[in-house]
């Protein structure tokens, strides 16, 4: 009976409160390495709005595909995708919010330019774009629609993110990553 109760409690916690996720790619390096495991608070956004700097787990738009990302509309030359495709992918991604509803976003050298101001990392590191990788320079701004967020990976030259498939609808957010628990030498907060 005690084992069944403990198992039931663990399943409830994972379903509604805190869920572990494993990092599948290098798109969030150096913040999160491939194979590292994070804990995600699944209920925080019921009480507080997401904000720039949050590391979030989410279901990306259906435009994320094995054939390459798709934008929901035709972007202007030199512009990030302004609108995502309809629906959600079954995959889960982890990225950092760089802009919120109503913000304008352009990208210069992999650095988001939000409302005309370059947003240098504050309290975390990024891997810059390098030699003109795709999506590193998108000087034509897009406006993030209400109820949406613009997300980017910290490994700016190796991340499939809002630059390519558009702003993320808030309802696609699963939760906010708040700590790492594996490997033991990387245990800590985010």
> Would you please indicate which residues are annotated as catalytic (active-site) residues?
27, 95
d(CA 132, CA 168): 25
> Residue holding tokens 């509604």?
16
Phi/psi for 40 (5° steps) reads: -120, 125
Specify whether the CB–CB gap between 59 and 92 falls below 8 A. yes
Q: How far from 88 is each of 52, 62, 147, 175, CA to CA, in Å? A: 22, 5, 15, 16
Specify whether the CB–CB gap between 9 and 141 falls below 8 A. no
Continuous segment of H or E residues that includes residue 9: helix 2-16
Q: Does residue 46 sit in helix, strand or coil?
A: helix
Rg over CA atoms, the chain? 17
Residue 75, Cβ neighbours under 10 Å: how many?
A: 18
């Amino acid at each position: 009976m005690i084992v069944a109760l403990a198992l039931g409690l663990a399943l409830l916690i994972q379903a509604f409160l805190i869920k572990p996720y494993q990092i599948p790619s290098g798109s969030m390096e150096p913040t999160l390495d491939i194979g590292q495991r994070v804990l995600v608070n699944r209920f925080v956004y019921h009480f507080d709005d997401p904000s720039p700097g949050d590391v979030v787990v989410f279901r990306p738009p259906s435009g994320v595909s094995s054939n390459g990302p798709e934008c929901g509309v035709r972007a202007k030359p030199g512009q990030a995708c302004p609108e995502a495709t309809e629906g959600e992918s079954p995959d889960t991604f982890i990225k950092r919010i760089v802009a919120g509803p109503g913000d304008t976003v352009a990208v210069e050298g992999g650095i988001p330019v939000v409302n005309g101001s370059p947003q240098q990392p504050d309290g975390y590191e990024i891997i810059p774009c390098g030699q003109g990788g795709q999506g590193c320079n998108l000087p034509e701004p897009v406006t993030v629609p209400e109820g949406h967020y613009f997300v980017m990976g910290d490994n700016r030259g190796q991340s499939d993110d809002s630059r390519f498939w558009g702003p993320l609808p808030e309802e696609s957010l699963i939760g906010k990553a708040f700590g790492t628990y594996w490997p033991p030498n990387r245990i800590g907060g985010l």
